[in-house]
Amino acid sequence: MENGYKVLWTEKALSELEEISNYLKNRWPDVVTVNLKEAIDFTISLIEENPRLYPKSEKENIHKAVILKYNSLYYEIDEGEKSVIILSFFNNYKNPVDRKL
């Protein structure tokens, strides 16, 4: 994105996204996976333009973007690199104690 922030995914976040995607593919109609992908793409486009759009989480300097109420993206902003680092893609139905940021 020319004037926006670059979005980078950690291996942990990609692994969590893959786990959730596999779960959905195996248990739900394809439309659910497509809706999730579209919601993630939309959320990422908003974050690229305005990374402070979403509120900070309970952890200092980490923002939380809820995606379709079932999942949340946790990310931090690197002003020096003008980038956003996706730290975690968390299933909101899991125990919050399991969320490691």
Can you give the CATH number for the domain in which 71 is found? Answer: 3.30.2310.20
100 falls within a domain: no
11 falls within a domain: yes
101 falls within a domain: no
pLDDT at position 101 is 57
Mean pLDDT, the chain, as a whole number? 87
Q: How many angstroms separate the CA atoms of 25 and 94, rounded? A: 18
Domain that holds residue 26: 6-92
CA-wise closest residue to 21 among 64, 62, 63, 70:
70
Nearest-5° Cα angle at 12, 8 to 14: 60
pLDDT at position 1 is 45
Domain count of the chain?
1
Nearest-5° Cα angle at 15, 26 to 40: 75
**88 band by pLDDT with thresholds 50, 70 and 90:** very high
pLDDT at position 98 is 55
Report whether pLDDT(95) > 60: no
- Helices (H) then strands (E): counts for the chain: 2, 4
Least confident window among 21-25, 41-45, 49-53, 82-86: 21-25
DSSP state of 94: S
97 falls within a domain: no
